[in-house]
Structure 1
Amino acid sequence: MTLESLLAAHLAYLLSWDPDRPEDSDLAMYRSGVPHWTLNGVVRVRDHDLDDAVAEASSHFAGLPWLWWVGPDSDASVADGLLARGGTELARLPVMTIALDTFVVPDGVSVAEDVAEFVTAYAAVSEIRPEGVPVAVERELSLDVLRFAARVDGRIVGTAEAWISHDVVTVYFVGTQPGFRRQGIGTAVTAAALAAGRERGCRLGALTSSAMGEPVYRRMGFETVAEMRLFSLSA
């Protein structure tokens, strides 16, 4: 499995959030309409004038929070170019992978059938504002993903979403509700998503980790293979 395949799978997932389904191009953008910075953005800039890209993106995302993902599939000059134009680096996120040899769905984790309930649960962890939840639910209903939830007393306290593309299962929206953390819930829902990928023929799992999640994933056996840098900049 090549890094190119992992990045292509990530690109495909983010583009799937855009109802207009923009074609894969040298300036790859996705606009979900959800007022949340990670759900609207530029995910790749390749062989494209950066000033033109900034102008196009600023117009495309007007009225929404959005960001730039800068990874190995963008031109090497993009990160410094954004900084030189007054951009702010928001985070550096490791791209991590793991071999899917032994994963099974843990006890206490099940497929989440109610999309609205699932989105409401991860929205609280991901800081998606209440007014953005209906749009996120609408977008989720169009995604070809598998959703897993851990419950306590019937309430969803942990979520994970599995996206299968390019022969890899990529995991998104891993989150545990406050008050239920440090109990292995994040590990359990991640394992369920990985197991689902393995059952469907994938041999590699991947995710882009937050700083909070990275130690959890390392304990599971994930290894860093690349880095995504996130920036804010508009014209």
Structure 2
Amino acid sequence: MESLDLLLAAHRAYLLGWNVGAAGGPDLLTYRSEVPHAPLNGVLRVAGRDPRDALAEARDRLDGAPRVWWAGPDSDAGSADALVSLGAVPVADLPIMTAPIDRVAVTPTPAGLDIAEATAMDEFVSAYARVSGIPAEGVVTAVEREKGFTGDGTVIRLAGRLDDGSIAATAVAWLSHGLVTLYYVGTQPAHRRQGIATAMTRAALDRAREEGVRVAALTATAAGEPVYDRMGFRTVGTFRLLSF
């Protein structure tokens, strides 16, 4: 199994691919996409900084943007509690999960679903925006960021289409640091509870394996954690997500 350091480095690399602002140094690493969606603007890590000073600088860099603070294993111990004491608000505890691709359960693709790489960014981003909470007014900017993505790795964007051509589900496979990290795995509300998200996950892993990748990682939501656990993923760390 890959080290937690590599998983965290891959996660940072993906979100930095959205950045159009000042990222700063490793002691206070930030990203700013200008998309009005908090997970696409924020702090990736803090190390060796006074929490009060770090919070003030992060607020200055990200002023005007909805944002989050990823307080994870690559940040100073106790940083999340220190930030909360300074006024940051806990949002969620997100498990960091990983699995060898060859040990993830093989699942059938539901009938009527065709999974292929997406080529039309407007349509693809609009589909995952509806599931992830990106507001309608942020879609144009999100499309621009997807088209101009500059992360240190390879992005594979998958769309699950129904017989009528509509996108029922999406998944983004991020190949970086020797593993694949999954983002935007989501199903449109009308098509949930049919095994589609599981099929999208499996398709993303199969695509990564074709590129020689053997380990998968993701950050799960509360709803997604039991699904990934059943597939064979295991929790190796936690992000405490804060707003500030």
Which of the five TM-score ranges fits, normalised by the shorter chain? Answer: over 0.9
1:111 aligns with 2:117: yes
1:227 aligns with 2:238: yes
1:85-114 CA distance string (max 9 Å, x none): 122110001000111117789572111111
Q: CA–CA distance in 1 between the matches of 2:91 and 2:22? A: 26
Contact 2:39/2:67, CA 8 A, preserved across alignment? yes
Letter in 2 for 1:128: I
1:134-181 CA distance string (max 9 Å, x none): 110011112341001111221001000011111010000011001100
Residue pairs, 1:1-235, within 5 angstroms: 1-20=2-21, 22=23, 25-101=26-102, 106=109, 108-143=114-149, 144-152=154-162, 153-233=164-244
Query: Relative to 1, partners in 2 of residues 1:221 and 1:24: Cα closer, same or farther, differing over 3 Å?
Result: farther
Q: CA–CA distance in 1 between the matches of 2:155 and 2:24? A: 20
Q: CA–CA distance in 1 between the matches of 2:12 and 2:182? A: 13
Query: Relative to 1, partners in 2 of residues 1:24 and 1:158: Cα closer, same or farther, differing over 3 Å?
Result: farther
Letter in 1 for 2:47: R
1:193-232 CA distance string (max 9 Å, x none): 1112111111100000001111111111111111111011
- TM-score, normalising length from structure 2? 0.91
Q: CA–CA distance in 2 between the matches of 1:20 and 1:58? A: 13
Q: CA–CA distance in 1 between the matches of 2:26 and 2:73? A: 15
Q: CA–CA distance in 2 between the matches of 1:67 and 1:78? A: 14
Residue 23 of structure 1 and its aligned partner are, at CA, apart by 5.6
3-state DSSP of counterpart to 1:57 = helix
Contact 2:100/2:214, CA 8 A, preserved across alignment? yes
1:50-75 CA distance string (max 9 Å, x none): 11111111111111110100110000
3-state DSSP of counterpart to 2:48 = coil
The number of residue pairs the alignment matches comes to: 233
> Which residues of structure 2 form unaligned runs of 5+?
none
Residue 24 of structure 1 and its aligned partner are, at CA, apart by 5.0
3-state DSSP of counterpart to 2:102 = coil
Letter in 2 for 1:147: R
Residue 22 of structure 1 and its aligned partner are, at CA, apart by 2.9
Q: CA–CA distance in 1 between the matches of 2:174 and 2:229? A: 20
Contact 2:168/2:187, CA 8 A, preserved across alignment? yes
Contact 2:103/2:232, CA 8 A, preserved across alignment? no
3-state DSSP of counterpart to 1:216 = helix
3-state DSSP of counterpart to 1:8 = helix
Contact 1:116/1:137, CA 8 A, preserved across alignment? yes
Contact 2:28/2:43, CA 8 A, preserved across alignment? yes
Letter in 2 for 1:56: E
- The CA RMSD measured in Å over matched residues stands at 1.6
Percent of matched pairs sharing the same residue: 53
Contact 1:15/1:21, CA 8 A, preserved across alignment? no
Letter in 2 for 1:177: Q
Q: CA–CA distance in 2 between the matches of 1:57 and 1:159? A: 31
